[in-house]
């Protein structure tokens, strides 16, 4: 049973294969949190809770004579508002009388078979073979009749627990929400916890940072209107002793693509609270009587096997329970060539066909026509919004162009940036009110473009119609969906003044509707997400696109860090990675080894390559396909940390049955006359024998893991190695 109830103790326990999570309807019906961690047999962990009369702590009115019960010192499932808990609140309601108060007490709960759903937001799903139960606990504030529904999804085998929240206005007057967290997780003792996050910037997304928890609120979040380059909606809380392979780790991954917040607070008593949800910045959402607001889902995992164990849980789960595209597992991803770094916007149909012809000899399956094919678009100052083919460039028309590419035996892909508009565009001239601009002010330009107001239904409908018209007109196999600026000037001409605090969130809801209507209606098209690289690389986006462009930075040496950081939560099969001209001193083979830690493709002018270079590429494309079953479906191991001092970066993929593995090594620094280095691999069967790169000689898994593979140091700088290990028995 995934969810058990102890009626006497009033505890509810969620069980996955290796973890337990327990809550209790406690004193005065407040919902307390008792435990999350390795599986426990205890049906009642109430003994964890100690109560004292703490100075300056408030006691709820009903406890009057009892001074030891203070919500400021109790672990909670969802922290209340103005009930004496001074830590970060899970909710801020402005009631109809103007009061800021929510005293949520557990009123009821129900256990449901299967996975709960949200009506407005993407969630992970249960496959037919998954054993999943859901729990819904209702908290009610008696005075206002505002209800909070806490949702839990328990994926037993996958060792995953999800959480989400709904707020229902059960009163008879409108209320406002100014903060709503999907998750509140309280640890009774969090003094020895570290917080790991994935900060970055354009071109350097998802670098890894680890900091010790100290006594303040550590905020990780985005207020850029998207999940952003600068932070990722994923954090880890781990023990100070935790390493790559050992120790406790909790992961929290938010299924949301807009402003988010993860707030980790170490309080006066060393209790640690983690809250996660929509960022409260400029969030003020009205709920009329009877209306419901949904907060996005948080996907939680716990591992005792360090960061690797945690990554494996997320990789396995996100590979199977996040995206329904047939390209996840039924159809192999193509090797693509993208026109961007080959030609930027300076191309026509003839040039594209030439690139495709040359790329065919490199083993490429698909040509992607990137930015520049539509409206008036010779540079990035115009054209966005006009999703009609520019026949001055594509003189033969889209149909004919696609036919020519198909005749080469290749597939065709196309680029869109649906969410944006250029001032110099027919769309803007016709509908200036569709752009996000605050009346009487000039909107901030970024790449000289303005965001469309996706909170409006007419804007959503326009995008659905115009993008679908292109997709239905020609034989399109692949779409790259880009967004190249952060949101500012948050304003909708479609909403009254008092509802402008809803625009950030309504934009994201509108975006999900547009994606539903374009992506889910084209199940045969492979979609790749992009946001000036990896600026919106989050699980909600990966619910729609099976792959996402990691970064505009194609330098293979920088990519070592980019792939390393991204891999903490996202599997290799989601990571868009190409070989380009970037990194002039890095051999083509090394670039290919790096791109094989991703979806693999090219982003260069294939007509400029020599015959010899084309041959190398052909071989690399072949190797990508050869190793696909290992890199796309196998377990991933980070063998070295590229942020730490060292002379090489190494990683490894191992098939689930441990019969095959691909070990990849890039030499980043060759010290003069330095020591011999060895790469100790992981995840093999210790007593099985493996061949290395087809050699007759075999080596034991134990030997390879404990002594390591010697790396030849008499090689040029930036050389790379791939060791294909195959079990021989």
> Using CB under 6 A, which of the segments 437-445, 525-533, 638-646, 673-681 binds ligand DGJ?
525-533
Smallest CA-to-CA distance from 144 within 84, 81, 57 is with: 81
Taking the least distance from each CB to ligand DGJ, the nearer of 368 and 592 is 368
Tokens of 199: 């900060």
> Using CB under 6 A, which of the segments 82-90, 516-524, 527-535, 647-655 binds ligand DGJ?
527-535
Taking the least distance from each CB to ligand DGJ, the nearer of 21 and 478 is 478
Least separation in angstroms between CB 87 and ligand DGJ = 40
Q: Is 627 exposed, middle or buried (0-12, 13-18, 19+ CB in 10 A)?
A: buried
Least separation in angstroms between CB 643 and ligand DGJ = 24
Is the alpha carbon torsion for 534, 535, 539, 541 positive or negative? negative
**Are the C-beta atoms of 53 and 41 separated by less than 8 Å?**
no
Least separation in angstroms between CB 552 and ligand DGJ = 4
What is the distance between the alpha carbons of residues 590 and 579, in angstroms, rounded to a whole number? 9
Which residue in 133, 205, 365, 371 binds ligand DGJ (CB under 6 A)? 371
Taking the least distance from each CB to ligand DGJ, the nearer of 542 and 665 is 542
**Are the C-beta atoms of 184 and 78 separated by less than 8 Å?**
yes
Taking the least distance from each CB to ligand DGJ, the nearer of 388 and 688 is 388
Taking the least distance from each CB to ligand DGJ, the nearer of 368 and 725 is 368
Q: Is 729 exposed, middle or buried (0-12, 13-18, 19+ CB in 10 A)?
A: exposed
Least separation in angstroms between CB 549 and ligand DGJ = 6
What is the distance between the alpha carbons of residues 175 and 144, in angstroms, rounded to a whole number? 9
E strand segments, 578-696: 579-580, 601-603, 635-638, 648-654, 660-667, 677-679, 689-692
Residues 6+ apart with CB under 8 A from 675: none
> Coil, helix or strand for 299?
strand
Site string for ligand DGJ, 42-81 (x = CB under 6 A): ----------------------------------------
In Å, how far are 328, 333, 608, 657 from 478, measured between CA atoms?
14, 10, 25, 32
> Using CB under 6 A, which of the segments 252-260, 273-281, 526-534, 586-594 binds ligand DGJ?
526-534
Q: Is 247 exposed, middle or buried (0-12, 13-18, 19+ CB in 10 A)?
A: middle
613 in catalytic set: yes
Tokens of 3: 């969810």
Distance of CA 52 to the CA centre of its chain: 41
Least separation in angstroms between CB 625 and ligand DGJ = 24
Least separation in angstroms between CB 153 and ligand DGJ = 33
Taking the least distance from each CB to ligand DGJ, the nearer of 370 and 660 is 370
Segment holding 511, helix H or strand E: helix 503-519
Least separation in angstroms between CB 370 and ligand DGJ = 5
The residue assigned the tokens 């036919």 is: 403
Residue 579 lies near ligand DGJ (rule: CB under 6 A) = no
Taking the least distance from each CB to ligand DGJ, the nearer of 416 and 723 is 416
Least separation in angstroms between CB 489 and ligand DGJ = 21
Which residue in 35, 109, 317, 340 binds ligand DGJ (CB under 6 A)? 340
Residue 265 lies near ligand DGJ (rule: CB under 6 A) = no
Taking the least distance from each CB to ligand DGJ, the nearer of 33 and 485 is 485
Least separation in angstroms between CB 350 and ligand DGJ = 21
The catalytic position among 244, 613, 619, 685 is 613
Which residue in 77, 159, 263, 370 binds ligand DGJ (CB under 6 A)? 370
Nearest-CB residue for ligand DGJ: 371
Q: Is 9 exposed, middle or buried (0-12, 13-18, 19+ CB in 10 A)?
A: middle
Taking the least distance from each CB to ligand DGJ, the nearer of 133 and 205 is 205
Residue 530 lies near ligand DGJ (rule: CB under 6 A) = yes
Distance of CA 548 to the CA centre of its chain: 9
In Å, how far are 409, 450, 456, 466, 494 from 433, measured between CA atoms?
44, 11, 10, 18, 9
DSSP state letter for 724:
E
Site string for ligand DGJ, 531-550 (x = CB under 6 A): -xx---------------x-
Interface positions, 177-206, toward ligand DGJ (CB under 6 A):
none
Taking the least distance from each CB to ligand DGJ, the nearer of 365 and 482 is 482
Residues 6+ apart with CB under 8 A from 314: 251, 253, 299, 301, 569, 570, 571
Residues 6+ apart with CB under 8 A from 50: none
In Å, how far are 323, 569, 599, 654, 678 from 123, measured between CA atoms?
9, 16, 24, 29, 43
Site string for ligand DGJ, 428-467 (x = CB under 6 A): ----------------------------------------
Residue 292, strand partner residues: 168
Tokens of 88: 């970060």
β-strand pairing of 601-603 with 336-338: parallel
Least separation in angstroms between CB 394 and ligand DGJ = 17
**Are the C-beta atoms of 440 and 400 separated by less than 8 Å?**
no
Interface positions, 404-423, toward ligand DGJ (CB under 6 A):
415
Least separation in angstroms between CB 371 and ligand DGJ = 3
**Are the C-beta atoms of 551 and 534 separated by less than 8 Å?**
yes
> Coil, helix or strand for 520?
coil
Which residue in 552, 589, 660, 677 binds ligand DGJ (CB under 6 A)? 552
> Using CB under 6 A, which of the segments 39-47, 54-62, 244-252, 528-536 binds ligand DGJ?
528-536
Interface positions, 476-515, toward ligand DGJ (CB under 6 A):
482, 484
**Number of residues forming the site for ligand DGJ (CB under 6 A):** 11
What is the distance between the alpha carbons of residues 304 and 265, in angstroms, rounded to a whole number? 23
Taking the least distance from each CB to ligand DGJ, the nearer of 201 and 622 is 201
What is the distance between the alpha carbons of residues 262 and 257, in angstroms, rounded to a whole number? 14
Least separation in angstroms between CB 534 and ligand DGJ = 8
In Å, how far are 93, 342, 491, 492, 530 from 507, measured between CA atoms?
22, 33, 10, 9, 18
**Are the C-beta atoms of 677 and 689 separated by less than 8 Å?**
no
Taking the least distance from each CB to ligand DGJ, the nearer of 257 and 664 is 257
* CA atoms within 13 Å, Cβ hemisphere of 143: 12
> Using CB under 6 A, which of the segments 157-165, 495-503, 530-538, 656-664 binds ligand DGJ?
530-538
The catalytic position among 305, 538, 605, 660 is 538
Least separation in angstroms between CB 347 and ligand DGJ = 12
Taking the least distance from each CB to ligand DGJ, the nearer of 177 and 487 is 487
**Are the C-beta atoms of 547 and 559 separated by less than 8 Å?**
no
Cβ–Cβ contacts within 10 Å for residue 213, how many? 20
- The residues binding ligand DGJ (CB under 6 A) are 340, 370-371, 415, 482, 484, 530, 532-533, 549, 552
Positions marked catalytic: 538, 613
């Amino acid at each position: 049973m995934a969810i058990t109830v102890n009626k006497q103790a009033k505890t509810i326990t969620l069980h996955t294969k290796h973890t337990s999570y327990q809550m209790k309807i406690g004193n005065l019906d407040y919902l307390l949190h008792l435990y999350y961690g390795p599986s426990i047999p205890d049906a009642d962990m109430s003994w964890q809770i100690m109560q004292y009369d703490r100075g300056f702590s408030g006691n709820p009115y009903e406890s009057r004579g009892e001074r030891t019960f203070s919500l400021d010192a109790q672990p909670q499932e969802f922290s209340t508002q103005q009930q004496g808990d001074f830590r970060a609140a899970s909710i801020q309601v402005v009631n109809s009388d103007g009061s800021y108060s929510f005293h949520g007490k557990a009123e009821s709960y129900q256990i449901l078979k299967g996975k709960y759903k949200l009506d407005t937001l993407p969630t992970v799903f249960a496959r037919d073979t998954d054993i999943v139960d859901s729990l819904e606990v209702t908290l009610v504030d008696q005075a206002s009749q505002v209800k909070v529904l806490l949702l839990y999804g328990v994926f037993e085998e996958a060792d995953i627990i999800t959480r989400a929240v709904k707020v229902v206005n059960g009163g008879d007057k409108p209320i406002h929400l100014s903060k709503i967290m999907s998750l509140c997780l309280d640890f009774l003792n969090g003094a020895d916890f570290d917080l790991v996050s994935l900060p970055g910037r354009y071109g350097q997304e998802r670098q890894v940072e680890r900091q010790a928890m100290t006594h303040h609120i550590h905020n990780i979040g985005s207020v850029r209107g998207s999940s952003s380059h600068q932070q990722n909606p994923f954090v880890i809380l781990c023990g100070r002793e935790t390493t790559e392979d050992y120790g406790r780790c909790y992961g929290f991954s938010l299924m949301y693509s807009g402003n988010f917040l993860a707030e980790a607070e170490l309080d006066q008593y060393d209790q640690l609270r983690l809250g996660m949800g929509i960022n409260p910045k400029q969030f003020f959402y009205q709920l009329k009587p009877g209306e419901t607001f949904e907060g996005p889902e948080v996907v939680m995992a716990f591992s005792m096997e360090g960061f690797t164990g945690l990554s494996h849980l997320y990789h396995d789960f996100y590979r199977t329970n996040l995206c329904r595209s047939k390209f996840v597992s039924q159809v192999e991803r193509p090797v693509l060539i993208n026109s961007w770094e080959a030609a930027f916007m300076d191309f026509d149909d003839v040039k594209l066909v030439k690139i495709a012809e040359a790329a065919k000899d490199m083993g490429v399956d698909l040509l992607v026509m990137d930015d520049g094919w539509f409206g008036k678009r010779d540079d990035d100052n115009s054209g966005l919004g006009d999703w009609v083919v520019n026949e001055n460039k594509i003189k033969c028309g889209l149909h004919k162009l696609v036919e020519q590419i198909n005749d080469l035996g290749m597939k065709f892909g196309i680029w869109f940036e649906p969410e944006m508009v250029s001032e110099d565009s027919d769309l803007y001239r016709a509908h200036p009110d569709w752009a996000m601009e605050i009346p009487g002010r000039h909107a901030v330009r970024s790449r000289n473009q303005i965001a469309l107001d996706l909170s409006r239904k007419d804007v959503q409908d326009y995008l659905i119609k115009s993008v679908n018209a292109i997709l239905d007109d020609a034989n399109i196999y692949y779409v790259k969906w880009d967004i190249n600026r952060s949101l500012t000037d948050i304003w909708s001409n479609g909403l009254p003044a008092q509802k402008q605090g809803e625009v950030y969130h309504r934009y994201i809801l509108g975006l999900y509707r547009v994606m539903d209507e374009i992506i889910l209606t084209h199940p045969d098209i492979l979609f790749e997400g992009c946001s000036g690289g990896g600026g919106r690389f989050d699980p909600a986006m990966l619910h729609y696109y099976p792959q996402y462009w990691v970064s505009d930075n194609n330098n293979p040496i920088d990519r070592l860090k980019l792939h390393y950081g991204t891999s903490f939560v996202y599997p290799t099969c989601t990571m868009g990675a190409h070989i380009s001209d970037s990194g002039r001193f890095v051999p083509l083979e090394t670039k290919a080894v790096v791109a094989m830690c991703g979806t693999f493709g090219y982003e260069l002018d294939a007509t400029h390559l020599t015959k010899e270079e084309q041959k190398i590429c052909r071989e690399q494309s072949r190797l990508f396909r050869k190793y696909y079953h290992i890199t796309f479906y196998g377990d991933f191991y980070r063998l070295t940390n590229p942020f730490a001092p060292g002379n090489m970066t190494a990683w490894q993929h191992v098939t689930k049955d441990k019969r095959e593995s691909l070990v990849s090594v890039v030499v980043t620094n060759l010290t003069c006359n330095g020591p011999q280095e060895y790469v100790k691999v992981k995840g093999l069967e210790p007593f099985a024998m493996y061949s290395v790169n087809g050699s007759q000689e075999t080596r034991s898994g134990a030997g390879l893991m404990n002594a390591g593979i010697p790396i030849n140091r008499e090689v040029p700088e930036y050389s790379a190695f791939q060791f294909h290990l195959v079990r021989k028995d």
